């Protein structure tokens, strides 16, 4: 098995910490020979225990990162834009979770179960950078790809219900503080915070990131553009509404789809159940021991690797229409796990070995 030195950039954030936890497990394509962790100057020097080995957080520095075989960037776009091109020039594989390179024409935007074929050495040799999609795009395209293969997707409408961890540690801390403030002081003032434009505790807001000229939010624009790129359907009619909700981890998506071919709920369930990484939940499903469920909530998806699909039913809004409900852990499959699966795929197909020999 390939032994690799893996780096996590942004190691103290919620995605970086999730990646740290996931990398403690074994993967089919590689083994972590050495783990390097990078963060801001204020976090440098902190020590973590990884597989009974102490790992000290380092300040983000190019020379140290050049020692890695692959790097997972769980940072904001500015950090990715500053360091990734320099690392790629040296042949270091970089998996970027930010939006910095997602729409770059020469950078694959990858969910391995959907378009893993784009991860060949030939495709990334000149610029070994792979973008990991938005946390809502990933579960959405897994469902759309599975159904498009069978029924030919015509259009999609999606509303997302996104937890505060999508805004990182500050989002989690803000919801915690506002909730505590309500119970202690009975104060639920709907004012601005440093993270959200209005109070998020006991509230929902149809606003995730800034508003664009056409009225979409930046988050909605990302979902639309990324879905089209991954599915290679540049003209796919797709409408998205992104809503921030007062939950800590786990995103939900209400999706209505139209297909060119005739569909039934039964057939849709059969197709989705066969697709890697998806799990269909209905009246016959067993979610936990002795627990039969009709649907799955974001809380139940917390800590799980699967993307859950439930509430599958036909709709007469479209001639060949299906509505369904998707939930996943936005920190795992929506972020860290997907990036690590990309590294695993590149290890299995020989891409990393070829880059090391370059």
Contacts 24+ apart (CB under 8 A), 270-276: 271/146, 271/147, 271/149, 271/150, 271/151, 272/143, 272/146, 272/147, 272/309, 272/312, 274/146, 275/113, 275/142, 275/145, 275/146, 276/113
Task: Please indicate, yes or no, if residue 159 is contained in any of the structural domains.
Answer: yes
Which pLDDT score, from 0 to 100, does residue 27 have? 87
Task: Please indicate, yes or no, if residue 175 is contained in any of the structural domains.
Answer: no
Which pLDDT score, from 0 to 100, does residue 290 have? 44
| One domain for residues 140 and 128 | no
Instruction: List pLDDT tens digits, range 257-313.
Output: 999 999 999 999 999 999 999 999 987 665 555 454 789 999 999 999 999 999 999
Domain holding 272: CATH number? 3.30.360.10
Instruction: List pLDDT tens digits, range 86-126.
Output: 999 999 999 999 999 999 999 999 999 999 999 999 999 99
pLDDT at 157 over 90: yes
| One domain for residues 143 and 93 | no
The rounded distance, in Å, linking the Cα atoms of 164 and 172 is: 6
Pick the residue with more confidence: 167 or 209?
Answer: 167
Instruction: List pLDDT tens digits, range 231-265.
Output: 999 999 999 999 999 999 999 999 999 999 999 99
| One domain for residues 303 and 343 | no
| One domain for residues 159 and 304 | yes
CA 304 to chain centroid: 13
Instruction: List pLDDT tens digits, range 40-91.
Output: 999 999 999 999 999 999 999 999 999 999 999 999 999 999 999 999 999 9
Task: Please indicate, yes or no, if residue 171 is contained in any of the structural domains.
Answer: no
| One domain for residues 236 and 146 | yes
Mean pLDDT of 202-221: 95
Q: Are 153 and 259 in contact (CB under 8 A)?
A: yes
Task: Specify the length of the chain in residues.
Answer: 358
Output DSSP code: residue 105.
T
Active-site residue numbers? 135, 251
| One domain for residues 282 and 345 | no
Tokens 């040296």 belong to residue = 90
Say how many domains are in the chain.
2
Task: Please indicate, yes or no, if residue 217 is contained in any of the structural domains.
Answer: yes
Which residues lie across from 7 on neighbouring strands? Answer: 36, 71
Which pLDDT score, from 0 to 100, does residue 42 have? 92
| One domain for residues 91 and 228 | no
Which pLDDT score, from 0 to 100, does residue 110 have? 98
CA 332 to chain centroid: 7
**Average predicted confidence (pLDDT) for the chain:** 94
Which pLDDT score, from 0 to 100, does residue 296 have? 93
| One domain for residues 76 and 213 | no
pLDDT at 328 over 50: yes
Task: Please indicate, yes or no, if residue 229 is contained in any of the structural domains.
Answer: yes
φ and ψ at residue 133, rounded to 5 degrees: -70, 175
Task: Please indicate, yes or no, if residue 186 is contained in any of the structural domains.
Answer: no
The rounded distance, in Å, linking the Cα atoms of 142 and 355 is: 28
DSSP string for 221-277 = HHHHHHHHHHHT-TT--EEEEEEE-S-SS-EEEEEEEEESS---HHHHHHHHHTSTT
Which pLDDT score, from 0 to 100, does residue 282 have? 84
The rounded distance, in Å, linking the Cα atoms of 277 and 113 is: 7
Q: State which residues form the domain around 72.
A: 2-132+335-357
| One domain for residues 346 and 313 | no
Tokens 């590294």 belong to residue = 343
| One domain for residues 122 and 74 | yes
The rounded distance, in Å, linking the Cα atoms of 190 and 35 is: 43
| One domain for residues 28 and 70 | yes
Which pLDDT score, from 0 to 100, does residue 65 have? 97
pLDDT at 190 over 90: no
Q: pTM for the complete prediction?
A: 0.94
Which pLDDT score, from 0 to 100, does residue 189 have? 66
Task: Please indicate, yes or no, if residue 220 is contained in any of the structural domains.
Answer: yes
Domain holding 43: CATH number? 3.40.50.720
Token reading at 308? 């859950």
The rounded distance, in Å, linking the Cα atoms of 140 and 146 is: 10
| One domain for residues 219 and 271 | yes
């Amino acid at each position: 098995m390939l032994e690799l030195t893996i780096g996590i950039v942004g190691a103290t954030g919620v995605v970086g910490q999730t990646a740290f936890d996931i990398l403690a497990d074994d993967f089919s394509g590689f083994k972590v020979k050495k783990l390097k962790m990078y963060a801001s100057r204020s976090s440098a020097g902190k020590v973590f225990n990884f597989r009974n080995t102490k790992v000290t957080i380092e300040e983000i520095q190019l020379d140290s990162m050049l020692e890695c075989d692959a790097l997972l960037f769980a940072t904001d776009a500015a950090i990715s834009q500053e360091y990734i091109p320099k690392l790629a020039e040296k042949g270091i594989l970089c998996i970027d979770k930010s939006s910095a390179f997602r729409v770059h024409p020469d950078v694959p935007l990858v969910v391995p179960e959907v378009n893993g074929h784009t991860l060949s050495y030939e495709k990334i040799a000149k610029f070994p950078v792979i973008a990991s999609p938005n946390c809502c795009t990933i579960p959405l395209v897994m469902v759309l790809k599975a159904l498009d293969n069978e029924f030919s997707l015509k259009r999609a409408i999606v509303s997302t219900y996104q937890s505060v961890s999508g805004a990182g540690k500050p989002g989690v801390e803000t919801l915690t503080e506002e909730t505590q403030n309500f119970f202690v002081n009975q104060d639920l003032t709907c004012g601005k915070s440093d993270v959200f434009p209005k109070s998020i505790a006991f509230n929902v807001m149809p606003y995730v990131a800034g508003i664009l000229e056409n009225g979409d939010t930046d988050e909605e624009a990302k979902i639309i553009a990324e879905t089209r790129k991954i599915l290679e359907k540049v003209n796919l009619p797709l409408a998205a509404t992104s809503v921030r909700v007062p939950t800590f981890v786990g995103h939900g998506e209400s999706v209505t789809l139209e297909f060119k071919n005739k569909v039934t709920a039964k057939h849709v369930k059969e197709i989705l159940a066969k697709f890697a990484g998806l799990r269909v939940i209905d009246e016959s499903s067993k979610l936990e021991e002795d627990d039969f469920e009709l649907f799955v909530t974001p809380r139940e998806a917390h800590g799980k690797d699967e993307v859950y699909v439930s509430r599958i039913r036909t709709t007469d809004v479209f001639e060949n229409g299906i509505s369904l409900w998707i939930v996943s852990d936005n920190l795992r499959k929506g972020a860290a796990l997907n990036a690590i699966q990309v590294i695993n795929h590149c290890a299995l197909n020989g891409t990393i070995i070829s880059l090391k020999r370059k």
